[in-house]
């Protein structure tokens, strides 16, 4: 409680001593700023923030931080701020605050890929604006990630003057700053450092996708983010998964379509498959050799690691025929056999039922889903419970299999 009261006193003191700025005077002091932040406060580059419409108090706070070199460091901004008086800072803040902010399109300022900090991967993660909105509004208490909305306001429109507006900001700039906070580089702010350190790179992209156009998901209700806990098994499994990467890709996201993605797969299902590769119930010359030396604890750790990863999008194009089979099944009148709806075991979104060892199918490649259905149909794969999958697959034609695979692979 004392810490909270002290923090409030610091904030209130900072507000009370703020110098009132003159927007007209500020207009004559921002000539050098325009090179990076744009003549109208809207930066033409994703690497620099928009300042138009930003809270004056926040701009002053950041300029002081650049000048003092305590909470924020930047090779360009430090010398720019060094010669500014408090009056200059107040005037500049007032000027930018007076400018109208304008919407930023998702591709504003050029190719976002040129400023991304992460290396280009073969299988590119597709950010989710809905996931970003959910994280922004609800946070994730299980990982000590607070809801951003408390400080930055609904849709990024902060009502607290010392907290920045995020609305209409370049999403690439937001991602860059979150990475800086996460790495504790160039940005020092206890609350933001603690918040960002628990974010995954994918979640940072999700937040960027949300701010690319908050209106696009305005009518979507935020849902609680459910994260897999990072346990000792997950940490141990990461080291043991290095040998799997050649086929199953970095973090379980296979880039070769013939191999399954393991990212996000149920841990129990992965353990079951590894045991069956080892004892010969499921046959594969490569996987049998890989599984042979694994102990049960190794399998548990590998399963935990891959279950905690986030899958990249599948390559399916969707299919109305496939959707009908997935949700409603079908009857093969020639064989007089019925196909049970896939949704019964694999769920409405294809995430499976982990505890029941029914696998997640969403995001798998069309090619892998097709190959496994055909193997069940031919009897090449027989490690399904009570021949459930064999009985279903035998009633599917090649066309049925292709349509179902296209639909399943398109699930997110």
May I ask the CATH architecture of the domain 18-98? Orthogonal Bundle (1.10)
Cβ contact 307:270 at 8 Å: yes
pLDDT at 204: 92
For the segment 388-395, the average pLDDT, to the nearest whole number, is 94
* Residue pLDDT, tens place only, 303-333: 999 999 999 999 999 999 999 999 989 887 7
232-307: CATH topology: Cytochrome Bc1 Complex; Chain D, domain 2 (1.10.760)
Q: Is 167 strand, coil or helix?
A: coil
pLDDT at 73: 81
Q: List the chain domain ranges.
A: 18-98, 125-217, 232-307, 320-410
Number of Cα atoms under 13 Å in the Cβ half of residue 17 = 7
Number of neighbouring beta carbons within 10 Å of residue 217: 19
Number of Cα atoms under 13 Å in the Cβ half of residue 391 = 13
Q: Is 275 strand, coil or helix?
A: helix
Confidence of residue 44 (pLDDT cuts 50, 70, 90): confident
For the segment 98-117, the average pLDDT, to the nearest whole number, is 51
* Percent of the chain at pLDDT exceeding 70: 87
Cβ contact 89:60 at 8 Å: yes
Confidence of residue 225 (pLDDT cuts 50, 70, 90): low
pLDDT at 359: 95
pLDDT at 237: 92
Distance separating alpha carbons of residues 263 and 313, to the nearest angstrom: 11
pTM above 0.75, yes or no: no
Task: Give the H or E element holding residue 162.
Answer: none
**Bridge partners for 337 per DSSP:** 332
* Residue pLDDT, tens place only, 195-216: 888 888 888 998 998 988 888 8
Radius of gyration for the chain, computed over Cα atoms and rounded to the nearest angstrom: 26
Going by the DSSP 8-state scheme, the letter that residue 242 receives in this structure is: G
Tokens 């090649």 -> residue: 398
pLDDT at 129: 87
In this predicted structure, the answer to whether residue 368 has a pLDDT above a threshold of 90 is yes
pLDDT at 344: 85
Of 23-37, 147-161, 265-279, 341-355, highest mean pLDDT:
265-279
CATH entry 1.10.390.10 includes domain 320-410: no
Q: Compute the C-alpha angle 114/227/297, nearest 5°.
A: 105
What tokens were used for 62? 């950041």
* Percent of the chain at pLDDT exceeding 90: 39
125-217: CATH topology: Cytochrome Bc1 Complex; Chain D, domain 2 (1.10.760)
Q: At what angle do helices 398-410 and 320-328 cross, to 10 degrees?
A: 90
Cβ contact 101:168 at 8 Å: yes
For the segment 373-384, the average pLDDT, to the nearest whole number, is 96
Lowest mean pLDDT among 7-16, 225-234, 289-298: 7-16
Distances (CA, A) of 188 to 30, 62, 73, 160: 26, 11, 9, 19
Lowest mean pLDDT among 142-146, 152-156, 168-172: 142-146
pLDDT at 75: 79
Nearest to 19 by CA among 56, 53, 65, 55: 56
Strand intervals (E) in 261-329: none
Q: How far apart are the first and last CA of the chain?
A: 43
Number of neighbouring beta carbons within 10 Å of residue 186: 16
In this predicted structure, the answer to whether residue 7 has a pLDDT above a threshold of 60 is no
pLDDT mean across residues, the chain: 84
For the segment 34-43, the average pLDDT, to the nearest whole number, is 85
pLDDT at 126: 80
Inter-residue long-range contacts of 109-114, CB under 8 Å, 24+ positions, other chains counted: 109/43, 109/44, 109/45, 109/46, 109/47, 109/170, 109/172, 110/45, 110/46, 112/46, 112/171, 112/172
Lowest mean pLDDT among 111-120, 245-254, 280-289: 111-120
Got the DSSP string for 168-185? T--HHHHHHHHHHHHHTS
Cβ contact 367:406 at 8 Å: no
* Residue pLDDT, tens place only, 226-235: 555 667 888 8
Residues 6+ apart with CB under 8 A from 298: 240
What are the b/e assignments for 303-312, b being 16+ CB within 10 Å? bbbbbbbbbb
pLDDT at 227: 53
Confidence of residue 125 (pLDDT cuts 50, 70, 90): confident
Phi/psi for 284 (5° steps) reads -165, 120
Got the DSSP string for 63-87? HHHHHHTSSB--TTHHHHHHT--HH
Distance separating alpha carbons of residues 411 and 142, to the nearest angstrom: 26
pLDDT at 113: 38
Distance separating alpha carbons of residues 347 and 91, to the nearest angstrom: 58
pLDDT at 229: 61
């Amino acid at each position: 409680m004392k810490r909270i009261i002290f923090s409030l006193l610091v904030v209130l003191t900072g507000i009370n001593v703020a110098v009132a700025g003159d927007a007209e005077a500020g207009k004559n002091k921002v000539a050098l700023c325009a090179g990076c932040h744009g003549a109208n406060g809207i930066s033409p580059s994703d690497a620099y923030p928009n300042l138009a419409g930003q809270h004056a108090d926040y701009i002053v706070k950041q300029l002081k931080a650049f000048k003092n070199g305590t909470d924020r460091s930047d090779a360009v901004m430090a010398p720019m701020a060094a010669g500014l008086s408090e009056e200059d800072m107040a005037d500049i803040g007032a000027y930018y605050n007076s400018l109208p902010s304008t919407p930023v399109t998702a591709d504003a300022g050029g190719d976002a890929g040129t400023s991304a900090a992460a290396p280009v991967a073969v299988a590119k993660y597709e950010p989710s604006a809905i996931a970003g909105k959910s994280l922004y509004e609800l946070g994730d208490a299980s990982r000590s990630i607070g809801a951003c909305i408390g400080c930055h306001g609904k849709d990024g429109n902060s009502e607290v003057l010392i907290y920045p507006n995020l609305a209409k900001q370049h999403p690439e700039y937001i991602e860059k700053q979150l990475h800086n906070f996460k790495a504790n580089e160039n940005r020092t702010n206890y609350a933001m450092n603690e918040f960002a350190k628990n974010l995954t790179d994918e979640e940072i992209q999700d937040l960027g996708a949300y701010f690319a156009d908050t209106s696009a998901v305005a009518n979507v209700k935020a849902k609680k983010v459910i994260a897999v806990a990072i346990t000792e098994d997950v940490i141990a499994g990461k080291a043991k998964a290095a040998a799997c990467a050649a086929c199953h890709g970095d973090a379980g996201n296979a880039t070769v379509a013939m191999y399954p993605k393991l990212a996000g797969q149920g841990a129990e299902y992965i353990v079951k498959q590894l045991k069956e590769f080892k004892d010969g119930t499921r046959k594969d010359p490569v996987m049998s050799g890989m599984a042979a030396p694994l102990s049960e604890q190794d399998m548990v750790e590998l399963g935990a690691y891959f279950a905690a990863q986030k899958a990249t999008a599948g390559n399916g194009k969707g299919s109305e025929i496939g959707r009908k089979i997935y949700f409603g099944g079908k009857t093969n009148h020639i064989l007089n056999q019925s196909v049970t709806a896939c949704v019964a075991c694999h769920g409405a979104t294809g995430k499976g039922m982990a505890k029941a060892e029914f696998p997640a199918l969403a995001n798998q490649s069309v090619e892998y889903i097709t190959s496994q259905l055909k193997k069940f149909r031919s009897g090449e794969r027989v490690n399904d419970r009570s021949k459930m999958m064999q009985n279903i697959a035998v009633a599917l034609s090649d066309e049925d299999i292709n349509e179902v695979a296209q639909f399943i692979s398109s699930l997110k």
